[in-house]
């Protein structure tokens, strides 16, 4: 049985909380950007061979027939002349960058994926054959595995039936990497028809060893109501392979589904906006107490904490968070994301950096907001203009805002503004007063109640 949209979003969002997720893009993604489909690409070849292309035509065999008749160089010239001249972008791939996939696999040999990521200032590492595999450990880059080769290396692309017949032998190491990732990561397949045998063969091999314990993967396919064979095909996929299928009436539904999925995932990401330099003893004790309680409770509920490491507050928050994660044998890097500011940043750079900081989170918690006044030799204190800017960014980008008024300074100003405009913050109406409490346990309990309410509405 295929999976419904709500279940797909819920199940996949749960899977990707571990960060072990991979993306697989098929020819349908390139076609949506104006690149010719493979059948369209081979129309000139079919015409010369007097072959009519239908839905059942084996395109690898068609390519082989053309190569047999006119030679491999002529076949690859047809491919190159119709693909390598294009300079397209893809909005769907751009949207998928919000999911922070560490690896992307594709059967496409065009350069659409890397061009789209480059336009988003995302660094990539292209692996189009076995010789590139030792280079997969490049930091801060997305690995793009091109199973059928790259258009920039025409001599190595997989295009004919002979290429397919010898694929397992010629690309054994490539397939080993793929199988390893199919075992450890959750894949999302988009624009992929499963008509070639590469993925299904790998999954079948894995299932022989792992049985029902094999990792479950997900795909979105267009419903073909008028095709009886399609129903059997879908049933066969779900019966024999660990793949859950979401069917849509049109591919236009996919961007909205991905947006809902992104919101669901980000609802577990909490950004803390906070800074202070010096507090009275009782207030500092409260700060230590609330930072410890909130980090422990959030991690118990599998939230992730993001912080720009604001002065002193960032130390208290991150210190308690790290202690909890290490004590409970959880990975620090996956659950605590620290992104401190550089001192040399310009105002514009800081603004852009703040937007980036908040972009991965749906909830922003504001605490404190005090900093030394540089104009007074740092002997006096003023409110943090950086936190005020983060509040404005959070409002503009539609984030859920939780101000802890009892911590004072900027957080208290935000609390006052929110309280005066509660109709805009319906999720806070029942609990706004508790966010101004001097009881750390009550404040933390209130934050958890608010987060639970937010989660139920995402």
- Mean pLDDT to the nearest integer, 440-445: 98
pLDDT at res. 195: 81
The closest of 377, 435, 379 to 411, measured between CA atoms, is: 435
Report the distance separating Cα 74 and Cα 166, nearest Å: 21
pLDDT at res. 307: 94
Backbone torsions φ then ψ of 18, nearest 5 degrees: -80, -10
- Neighbouring residues of 202: CB distance < 8 A, sequence distance ≥ 6: 175, 178, 179, 182
Report the distance separating Cα 358 and Cα 270, nearest Å: 9
* Average per-residue pLDDT for the chain: 90
Longest dimension (CA), the chain: 88
**Domains in the chain: ranges and CATH:** 5-32+88-263 (3.40.50), 36-85 (no CATH), 269-457 (3.40.50.450)
Q: 82 near 36, Cβ under 8 Å?
A: yes
Question: Per-residue pLDDT for 402 more than 60?
Answer: yes
| Helices then strands, each counted (H, E), the chain | 21, 14
pLDDT tens string 270-326: 999 999 988 888 889 999 999 999 999 999 999 999 999 888 899 999 999 999 999
- For residue 10 the two structure tokens come to 């819920």
- Neighbouring residues of 282: CB distance < 8 A, sequence distance ≥ 6: none
Question: Per-residue pLDDT for 394 more than 80?
Answer: yes
Report the distance separating Cα 373 and Cα 213, nearest Å: 59
Residue located via tokens 């591919």:
251
Q: If pLDDT is split at 50, 70 and 90, which confidence band does 98 have?
A: confident
pLDDT tens string 12-33: 888 777 668 899 999 888 877 7
Question: Per-residue pLDDT for 50 more than 80?
Answer: yes
pLDDT at res. 52: 93
Q: Is 370 helix (H, G, I), strand (E, B) or coil?
A: strand
Q: 372 near 277, Cβ under 8 Å?
A: yes
Nearest-Å Rg of the Cα atoms of the chain is: 26
pLDDT at res. 83: 79
Angle between helices 281-300 and 313-327 (to 10 degrees): 40
Q: 425 near 391, Cβ under 8 Å?
A: no
pLDDT at res. 100: 78
- For residue 366 the two structure tokens come to 């504001």
Tell me how far CA of residue 113 lies from CA of 24, 94, 103, in angstroms.
11, 9, 12
- Mean pLDDT to the nearest integer, 157-172: 92
- Mean pLDDT to the nearest integer, 175-180: 96
The closest of 437, 361, 363 to 405, measured between CA atoms, is: 437
Share of the chain above pLDDT 90, in %: 63
pLDDT at res. 85: 58
Report the distance separating Cα 178 and Cα 180, nearest Å: 5
| Max mean pLDDT range (83-87, 310-314, 411-415) | 411-415
Return the minimum-mean-pLDDT range out of 213-217, 388-392, 411-415. 213-217
pLDDT tens string 314-366: 999 999 999 999 999 999 988 999 999 888 899 999 999 999 999 989 999 99
- Mean pLDDT to the nearest integer, 135-158: 88
Question: Per-residue pLDDT for 217 more than 90?
Answer: yes
pLDDT at res. 87: 61
Q: Residue 125: beta bridge partners?
A: 143
Q: If pLDDT is split at 50, 70 and 90, which confidence band does 227 have?
A: confident
Handedness of CA 122, 127, 132, 135 (dihedral sign): positive
């Amino acid at each position: 049985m295929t999976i419904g949209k709500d279940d797909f979003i819920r199940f996949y969002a749960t899977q990707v909380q571990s960060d072990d997720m991979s993306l697989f893009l098929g020819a349908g993604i390139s076609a949506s950007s104006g690149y010719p489909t493979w059948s369209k690409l081979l129309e000139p070849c079919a015409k010369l061979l007097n072959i009519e292309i239908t839905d059942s035509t084996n395109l690898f065999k068609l390519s082989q027939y053309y190569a047999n008749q006119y030679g491999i160089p002529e076949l690859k010239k047809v491919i190159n002349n119709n693909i390598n001249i294009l300079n397209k972008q893809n909005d769907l791939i751009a949207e998928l960058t919000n999911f922070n996939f560490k690896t992307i696999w594709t059967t496409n040999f065009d350069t659409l994926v890397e061009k789209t990521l480059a336009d988003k200032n995302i660094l990539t590492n292209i692996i189009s054959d076995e010789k590139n595999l030792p280079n997969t450990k490049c930091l801060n880059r997305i690995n793009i595995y091109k199973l059928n080769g790259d258009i920039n290396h025409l001599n190595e692309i997989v295009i004919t039936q002979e290429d397919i017949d010898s694929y397992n032998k010629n690309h054994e190491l490539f397939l080993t990497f793929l199988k390893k990732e199919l075992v450890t990561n959750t894949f999302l397949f988009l624009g992929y028809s499963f008509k070639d045998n590469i993925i299904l063969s790998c999954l079948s091999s894995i299932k022989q060893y792992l049985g029902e314990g094999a990792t479950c993967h997900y795909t979105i396919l267009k419903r073909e109501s008028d095709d009886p064979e399609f129903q059997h095909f879908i049933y066969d996929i779900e019966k024999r392979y660990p793949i859950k299928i979401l069917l849509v009436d049109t591919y236009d539904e996919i961007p909205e589904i991905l947006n809902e999925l992104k919101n669901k995932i980000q609802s577990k990401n909490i950004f803390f906006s906070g800074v202070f330099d010096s507090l009275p003893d009782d207030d500092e004790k409260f700060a230590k107490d609330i930072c410890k309680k909130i980090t422990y409770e959030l991690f118990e509920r599998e939230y992730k904490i993001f912080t720009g490491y604001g002065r002193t507050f960032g130390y208290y928050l991150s210190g308690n968070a790290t202690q909890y994660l290490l004590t409970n044998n959880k990975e620090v890097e996956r659950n605590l994301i620290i992104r401190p500011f550089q001192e040399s940043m310009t105002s514009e750079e800081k603004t852009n950096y703040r937007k980036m900081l908040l972009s991965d989170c749906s909830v922003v918690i504001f605490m404190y907001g005090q900093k030394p006044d540089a104009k007074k030799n740092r002997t006096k204190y003023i409110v943090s203009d950086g936190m005020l800017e983060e509040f404005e960014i959070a409002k503009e980008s539609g984030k859920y805002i939780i101000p802890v008024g009892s911590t004072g300074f900027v957080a208290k100003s935000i609390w006052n503004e929110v309280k005066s405009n509660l109709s805009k913050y319906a999720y806070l109406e029942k609990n706004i007063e508790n966010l101004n409490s001097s009881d750390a346990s009550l404040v933390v309990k209130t934050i958890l109640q608010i987060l639970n309410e937010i989660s139920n509405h995402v």
